[in-house]
Amino acid sequence: MQFSSILTVLDKPKHSQSALAKALQLQRRSQGALELVSFYWSAMLDSNTTFDAKQRRKMRHEMHEKLEAWQQQLLHEEAGEEHLRQYKVKRRCVWGHDIAGWVAEAVAKGGYDLVIKSLHRSKTLLYTPTDWQILRTCGAPVLFTTAKSRAARKRKGPVLVALDFKSSDAKHRRLNARLMAAGADYAELTGAPLHVIFAIEISQVLRDLDLTNEKVTKAKVLRDIEPLVERTLAGYRVPKSNIHFPVGKAGRVINSRAHKLKAGVIVVGAAAHPITQSLGLGNTAERILTKAYHDVLVINP
């Protein structure tokens, strides 16, 4: 995974800019190019019923000018003059509210290696937030950052790669390989140790009815997946103490282990089935994001 070109979506001015802080940190380490984008939009200025064309143009121009000035001030405060002299940072302000659609198109055209955005976990049955839309449509890896992770950024927390050994088909093998490569590259770039995790999900119904023994079932699963685990980790220096097989729901136990390890980032694959996406049901990546208090790097298949 390369970090030569990074696209970062800034939050609105009232929010903590955790994505920008992470982007600047990665740029210093990777020596790559960085582009920042802010979005602004008003429904009233898209309508021709409230203001005439001249008024709309004037107000849009004023909004653009204010946003540009804020961007410039923010960048100087966060990056500092020395960073801006040494590294290439572009800025742009985009009129529109379809953030996910714009990002997907920009990635397709611009060839960005990484998209960074702060994480917003709000979700209801009838509304899919921008983060989920970006996760499902963006062709590049997406790093979601959290406000809490920003506070702990000086610590080189481990890179925790969440693998999926439930199936040994070619699709899962390829995704696991991509996750390991991305995790190893990220760990090398940040100077952090590399950990891997696979959540063993045992049916809660069977456990409640005492129809399965957790220890016995876990041991059987580990025996079954041992060859696949060895092939996946071959070539990576991951100590046995850095390999984790917790039992439980993936979203809960992966976040729990990340918290225990004080991880710097969780690396996870986005492999939802199209039908699942259309129904608004989450995959493992979405379940992790829902409860994440650590940065989450999502890799597409």
Please name which of 75, 113, 118 lies closest in space to residue 99, comparing C-alpha atoms. Answer: 118
Q: Which one has a higher pLDDT value, 215 or 196?
A: 196
Pull the structure tokens for residue 48: 């021709």
Going by pLDDT thresholds of 50, 70 and 90, the confidence category of residue 222 is very high
pLDDT greater than 50 at residue 18: yes
pLDDT classification of 212: cutoffs 50, 70, 90 = low
Average pLDDT over residues 67-86: 95
- Residue 121 and residue 13 share a domain: yes
Give 122's contacts (C-beta < 8 A, 6+ positions apart).
Answer: 129
Position 62 pLDDT exceeds 60: yes
Amino acid found at 11: D
Task: Count the domains in the chain.
Answer: 2
Average pLDDT of every residue of the chain: 87
Could you tell me if 176 and 117 lie in one domain? no
pLDDT (0 to 100) of residue 135? 87
On whether both 86 and 58 belong to a single domain, the answer is: yes
Examine the domain organization and report whether 94 and 191 are in the same domain. no
Q: What is the per-residue pLDDT for 86?
A: 95
Both 159 and 138 in one domain: the answer is no
Long-range contacts of 14-17 (CB under 8 A, 24+ apart): 15/118, 16/118, 16/147, 16/150, 17/74, 17/78, 17/118
Range of the domain at 197: 155-301
- Tell me, what's the pLDDT at 207? 54
128 versus 88: the higher-pLDDT residue is 88
Looking at 153, 182, 204, the residue that finishes a domain is 153
Residue with tokens 């004037």: 58
Among 47-56, 96-105, 161-170, 178-187, the range scoring the smallest mean pLDDT is 47-56
9/56: higher pLDDT:
9
pLDDT in tens, 160-173: 999 999 888 899 89
Judged by average pLDDT, the poorest of 11-15, 108-112, 208-212, 271-275 is 271-275
**Same domain assignment for residues 148 and 160:** no
Q: Beta-carbon neighbour count of residue 93 at 10 Å?
A: 18
Tokens of 177: 């390989």
Which H or E run contains 22? helix 18-30
Q: What is the mean pLDDT of residues 56-72?
A: 95
Q: What is the DSSP string of 184-246?
A: HHHHHHHT--EEEE--B---HHHHHTT-S-HHHHHHHHHHHHHHHHHHHHTTS---GGGEE--
Using the predicted structure, report yes or no on whether residue 85 has a pLDDT greater than 60: yes
Strands 5-9 and 114-118: parallel
Task: Note whether 149 and 7 are same-domain residues.
Answer: yes
Average pLDDT over residues 198-223: 75
Please tell me whether residues 99 and 48 are part of one structural domain.
yes
Residues 12 and 110 reside in one and the same domain? yes
Instruction: Count Cβ atoms within 10 A of the Cβ of residue 60 and give its class: 0-12 exposed, 13-18 middle, 19 or more buried.
Output: middle
Q: How far is CA 140 from the centre of its chain?
A: 10
Domain boundary among the residues 153, 184, 199 is at 153
pLDDT (tens digit per residue) in 112-167: 999 999 988 665 544 568 888 898 899 999 999 987 655 455 557 999 999 999 88
Closest CA to 115 of 124, 128, 106, 125: 106
Residues 177 and 276 in one domain: yes
Region 257-263: mean pLDDT is 95
Instruction: Indicate which CATH number applies to the domain containing 220.
Output: 3.40.50.12370
Rounded Cα–Cα distance for residues 197 and 73 (Å):
41
Confidence of residue 15 (pLDDT cuts 50, 70, 90): confident
Same domain, 221 and 251: yes
CB contact at 8 A, 166 and 284: no
Among residues 99, 133, 153, which one ends one of the domains? 153
> How far is 14 from 17, CA to CA, in rounded Å?
9
Of the candidates 154, 152, 146, 230, the one whose C-alpha atom is nearest the C-alpha of residue 196 is 230
Tokens of 138: 């963006």
- DSSP summary character for residue 40: E
Say if residue 43 is in the same domain as residue 148.
yes
